[in-house]
């Protein structure tokens, strides 16, 4: 009887479409990391190369920073904006609010694991698969 209750309880722990089914770490602990984009899709188009210079850092204190490092005509440039992050819509969405409002965005969380963060742009076709650096 105890095993049945435990299995039923664990099945109810799945929050996001692509898992995980159960985690001992809180959502805040799992999302707090420095992430890079491993794969980016805009609809059926692979646009990963347009995002490979970005680094997203999220902390448990809900601080966020976005850094882009790129080379143009042999010169290295770096752009960084700081801000905050928050869960919205019953923790199903991730809201990023930066000093540079052009970088602000809200994403639907598809997967949130210690080693994977999958996001889909709200109202758009862009899907990002992030992994820790």
Q: What is the pLDDT of residues 3-42, one digit of tens each?
A: 444 444 444 345 555 455 556 889 999 999 999 999 999 9
d(CA 133, CA 125): 25
pLDDT at 99 over 50: yes
- Confidence label for 100 from pLDDT (cuts 50, 70 and 90): very high
Number of structural domains (the chain) is 1
Has residue 77 been placed in a domain?
A: yes
Say which CATH number the domain at 126 has: 2.40.128.280
How high does pLDDT run on average in the chain? 88
Has residue 35 been placed in a domain?
A: yes
pLDDT of residue 72: 86
Report residue 88 as tokens.
Answer: 């919205």
pLDDT at 97 over 80: yes
pLDDT of residue 71: 87
pLDDT at 2 over 80: no
Has residue 94 been placed in a domain?
A: yes
Q: Model pTM?
A: 0.81
- Under DSSP, the state recorded for 61 is T
Average pLDDT score over residue span 87-114: 97
Instruction: Among 6-15, 81-90, 95-104, 119-128, name the one with the lowest average pLDDT.
Output: 6-15
Has residue 20 been placed in a domain?
A: no
- Under DSSP, the state recorded for 62 is S
Has residue 9 been placed in a domain?
A: no
Beta bridge partners of 85: 96
Has residue 31 been placed in a domain?
A: yes
Q: 111: helix, coil or strand?
A: strand
Range of the domain at 70: 25-132
């Amino acid at each position: 009887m105890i095993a049945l209750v435990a299995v039923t309880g664990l099945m109810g722990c799945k929050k996001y479409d692509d898992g995980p089914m159960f985690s001992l770490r809180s959502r805040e602990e799992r999302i707090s990391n420095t992430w890079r984009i491993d794969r980016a899709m805009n609809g059926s188009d692979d646009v990963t190369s347009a995002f490979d210079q970005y680094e997203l850092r999220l902390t448990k204190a809900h601080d966020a920073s976005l850094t882009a490092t790129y080379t143009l005509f042999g010169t290295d440039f770096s752009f960084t904006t700081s801000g905050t992050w928050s869960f919205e819509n019953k923790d199903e969405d991730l809201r990023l609010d930066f000093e540079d409002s052009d970088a602000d965005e809200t994403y639907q969380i598809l997967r949130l694991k210690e080693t994977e963060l999958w996001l889909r742009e709200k109202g758009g076709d862009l899907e990002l698969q992030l992994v820790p650096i």
